[in-house]
Amino acid sequence: MAVFCGVAVGIKVWDADSVTAQHEARHRHQVTATTVSKAEGRLPARFAGASEATARAFWEYPASVPHTDTIAVTPNTPVGRTVTLWVDDSGTMSTAPHSRGDRALQAAAAGACAMGVVALSAGLVVRLRLRRVETRSLAHWDEEWERVEPRWSGRLRRDSGADDD
């Protein structure tokens, strides 16, 4: 049951992400920008110790519509260097569309989470049910033992009564 639910959730997430990625791919464009200032500052290390800096850059998108903004570049990038970046339909900086690998990873993670939630929930239900059954069983055993123990042991149970001195 948990595997079935995990697969179903993974497929749903894949489908939803694929639609989003198709939309992103239609509305995001790769352009070439030219730096108009020297790279400044260093941002913290991101991947395998690679540092980034920022520089002002200029690009045109859509055709003949100028844009200038601060972008992330490698340290020591000189003025006039071309840099590739992603923009939306209006020419504003954006991120790259999600890749097939990103979508697959997200779908697998969602499916695994769903599978784990279902499995843990089922385990909790079974545990609570077994605890309830065990509690009833032990209570019933105690009642039976109260009736059988005096005869089985050969001792008479001393109950409070008239000859209790």
Write the pLDDT tens digit of every residue in 94-135: 998 989 999 999 999 999 999 999 999 999 999 999 999 999
Q: Is the dihedral of CA 52, 55, 58, 62 positive or negative?
A: positive
Alpha-carbon distance of 82 to 120, in angstroms, equals: 53
Provide φ and ψ at 38, rounded to 5°.
-70, 150
To the question of pTM greater than 0.75 for the whole model, the response is no
Write the pLDDT tens digit of every residue in 15-64: 999 999 999 999 999 999 999 998 887 655 555 455 678 999 999 998 88
Q: Are 18 and 57 in contact (CB under 8 A)?
A: no
